[in-house]
Structure 1
């Protein structure tokens, strides 16, 4: 790896690159990074760059929690190692290159139990040994505002209408720069459009293996931020940008494969194994959302009637369903079949989210679960009695309910492991303590530019 890093550094330096940004995501979904000079890339690849162990217990507002026993003091150092195979020159920041980082122990370079990328890599490897392969891709929603704007509502970056080409005309330079930079950074994009929410856009990233999908998510948000800055704009990926508007979801599409066959594909819906995968996600959905939508405003976003999925059920192409089954068709092909997890947003660590999804889905396959009948309506419009008769319950409505759901699920909490679970819980408890006594508007404003 050192030899490859040296060769890459030489080529990048000749092209005018002066530094490499090594990025990772913390337990709040917030990207963190170190920049090393291009001349130091080979050394960073061999020995990593030192960072504090306390990044695992940062909360969303950069407060450090010492509540987790394993990281209860300011002493300790680990190393962040760039993945040279994923090294990219940033098209929108041409003096910099970018690589995702894996955090290892400082004393011997061995696995650090708090590294989410290591956790996902291990889960993917374990699944592959059993013959299973997951494909995953993100849809990213974000709101646009002029640079320097304190919020989105007072100065929306586009006036709408939703889904209209007219909405994007004021953002023409940004759209052009963004598509150029995404392609230059090696990110394959399905589409980009004006979305339903306030000054909202959405782009979809093509499906790939889970670790690459998580890496791509981090790189995409870096690319979007840089393109917006270059065009005099700023973007918000926050779950809510206004208390009365539809929020930003980062919908996670997955499909499970074995022997080259998409197990979610079938002439009348998913086959037995694919259905069991979907049922596994549904069984642990309350605990999953504690990982995939974990911030204080995340649960505020999950309201009935906002295409945000407030109740636990699944449906075929039902955009109110938290688990939306997208079938393959003769027109699109069997490989198109997937499950969209809608209670997912930018406050989730993507590596952690994908590890939990993979584990819960495969547990459903192992247990040969059979999902209930799909729902083609919005249960939010039903009476409580009718929802109860269909076994449909509300997803957690606040951090305390999410914490209880996570603690009650041996599969989700077991995926994280004792150390990472403890750090994750400490960050969530710190966020909850911060939010006590604050209004919804205060909570929304404090999260607006965090991601």
Structure 2
């Protein structure tokens, strides 16, 4: 493959290229090779030792090969390096625990019937001052949609947005979030695989620009107790033959409603994938905007699935519980398979409500069939182990995922026991900060 034309979009030619994949946690991993080896990385791949990659553990996984996807090649504007995503192979076959490969398998299956899934994410993050301790210092005191604040956060948001197009992301809305020093930059929706790549790139850009300004950026779901958590609402639409098949004559189509029904049916197991950390369940608590009740509605922001007021080709659903600690490849694969299970079995959505669910009595929630999401990672993993559809969505990565996350939960329980703390504590522990702050 001749890829010379893709190189040197800027005034200088990168000397190295980063070969990027993600581990079980969605954290970018990879290696740098001279730019002269890029074509080799595309055609035959670059061998590496995967035995120490989280979620790839095992001596039997030590000999892996990374093959670059040339369509993902970009050049980093602030550095003399390029980046490219790709797929992982073992013994000349796709490696089953490769997260990007897991999502591709799901999408390839849908493509046989002409379906395309488009996803638009809303990842939130915090800025903190660097001080060498876990006493997190807030650099700004703005609130939701504040414009005039006595800080430089708005300038940093703009700088992030200016860099995004170089990575193939189109920024759409920049704003301050509810929490002090909390921010959101939404970017254009795209096909599911591209959007998953974009989330990984976006987190890289945000963290790099924060570093340039002497700050830390964190996508940790709940970095500070009694402050809003970081969510990542995802907007989903399904297309076929160039048409949005979620649109109905008035509101959503029957297909869209069945897709919602599938997600609601598998919601508990889905949280193990869309909210995969101990810290995720410190965000999923009543009293904040993060949803905890399995329900849906049209304008209701207290429900799990909201239908935004956009019709025609803008018709879509908003799944509100995911957070940015999720591995986007696994999360999208699981959400899509849950939705298609609803379509396949014509599952009608249940627990429709337009009232504030948090203010509803337990009796009324029971009457409406409103269930509640797992309260911790351990419960979520138990739900996952009983859900054949979501397990199948993870394919060959399921065993690695469940074993890794079980060990993570047990390690946390051991930590709590050593500190004489309850597993139901909603306080943010140092164990969580050390493990999740930089994800």
Relative to the length of structure 1, the TM-score reads 0.89
Alpha-carbon distance, 1:182 to partner: 0.9
CA distance in 1, matches of 2:281, 2:136: 24
CA offsets, 1:362-390, max 9 Å, x none? 11111112112521123222222221111
C-alpha contact 1:79 1:104 (8 A) present in aligned 2: yes
Aligned to 1:61: none
Equivalent pairs, count: 428
Answer yes or no: is 1:30 the counterpart of 2:8.
no
Q: Could you say what secondary structure the match of 2:346 adopts?
A: coil
Q: Using a 3 Å threshold, how does the CA distance of structure 1 residues 137 and 7 change in structure 2: closer, same or farther?
A: same
CA distance in 2, matches of 1:168, 1:291: 38
Aligned to 1:79: 65
Tell which deviates more after alignment, 159-168 or 285-294: 159-168
Answer yes or no: is 1:387 the counterpart of 2:370.
no
Alpha-carbon distance, 1:41 to partner: 1.6
Tell which deviates more after alignment, 188-197 or 364-373: 364-373
Trace 1:303-382 onto structure 2 (pairs within 5 A).
303-329=285-311, 334-372=312-350, 374-382=352-360
Alpha-carbon distance, 1:50 to partner: 2.7
CA distance in 2, matches of 1:78, 1:382: 53
C-alpha contact 1:240 1:297 (8 A) present in aligned 2: yes
Q: Could you say what secondary structure the match of 2:378 adopts?
A: helix
Answer yes or no: is 1:118 the counterpart of 2:105.
no
CA distance in 1, matches of 2:132, 2:245: 47
Aligned to 2:424: none
Choose the corresponding residue for 2:399, options 387, 411, 422: 422
Q: Using a 3 Å threshold, how does the CA distance of structure 1 residues 162 and 168 change in structure 2: closer, same or farther?
A: farther
Q: Could you say what secondary structure the match of 2:18 adopts?
A: strand
Answer yes or no: is 1:199 the counterpart of 2:181.
yes
Alpha-carbon distance, 1:44 to partner: 1.9
Relative to the length of structure 2, the TM-score reads 0.91
Alpha-carbon distance, 1:212 to partner: 0.4
Alpha-carbon distance, 1:163 to partner: 1.5
Choose the corresponding residue for 2:195, options 203, 213, 223: 213
Answer yes or no: is 1:263 the counterpart of 2:254.
no
Trace 1:268-307 onto structure 2 (pairs within 5 A).
268-307=250-289
Q: Using a 3 Å threshold, how does the CA distance of structure 1 residues 385 and 13 change in structure 2: closer, same or farther?
A: closer
Answer yes or no: is 1:450 the counterpart of 2:422.
no
CA distance in 1, matches of 2:362, 2:53: 40
C-alpha contact 2:279 2:428 (8 A) present in aligned 1: no
Answer yes or no: is 1:88 the counterpart of 2:74.
yes
CA offsets, 1:105-147, max 9 Å, x none? 1x32x21111121121121121121122110111110001123
CA offsets, 1:344-368, max 9 Å, x none? 1222111111111111111111111
C-alpha contact 2:351 2:368 (8 A) present in aligned 1: no
CA offsets, 1:177-213, max 9 Å, x none? 2121112322112201000123100111211111101
CA distance in 2, matches of 1:304, 1:51: 45
C-alpha contact 1:89 1:96 (8 A) present in aligned 2: yes
Q: Using a 3 Å threshold, how does the CA distance of structure 1 residues 364 and 446 change in structure 2: closer, same or farther?
A: same
C-alpha contact 2:157 2:185 (8 A) present in aligned 1: no
CA distance in 1, matches of 2:297, 2:316: 12
C-alpha contact 1:251 1:345 (8 A) present in aligned 2: yes
Answer yes or no: is 1:44 the counterpart of 2:41.
yes
RMSD (Å) for aligned C-alpha atoms:
2.1
Tell which deviates more after alignment, 14-23 or 342-351: 14-23
- Tell me which of the two structures has the higher relative contact order, counting C-alpha pairs closer than 8 angstroms and 6 or more residues apart: 1
CA distance in 2, matches of 1:137, 1:148: 34
C-alpha contact 2:270 2:384 (8 A) present in aligned 1: yes
Q: Using a 3 Å threshold, how does the CA distance of structure 1 residues 238 and 408 change in structure 2: closer, same or farther?
A: same
CA distance in 1, matches of 2:61, 2:287: 47
C-alpha contact 2:352 2:368 (8 A) present in aligned 1: no
CA distance in 2, matches of 1:193, 1:308: 18
Answer yes or no: is 1:189 the counterpart of 2:171.
yes
Q: Using a 3 Å threshold, how does the CA distance of structure 1 residues 28 and 363 change in structure 2: closer, same or farther?
A: same
CA distance in 1, matches of 2:28, 2:9: 23
Q: Could you say what secondary structure the match of 1:343 adopts?
A: coil
CA distance in 2, matches of 1:46, 1:179: 33
Q: Could you say what secondary structure the match of 2:372 adopts?
A: coil
Aligned to 1:67: none
Q: Could you say what secondary structure the match of 1:166 adopts?
A: coil
Q: Which runs of 5+ in 1 are unaligned?
A: 59-63, 65-70
Alpha-carbon distance, 1:307 to partner: 0.8
Q: Could you say what secondary structure the match of 1:51 adopts?
A: strand
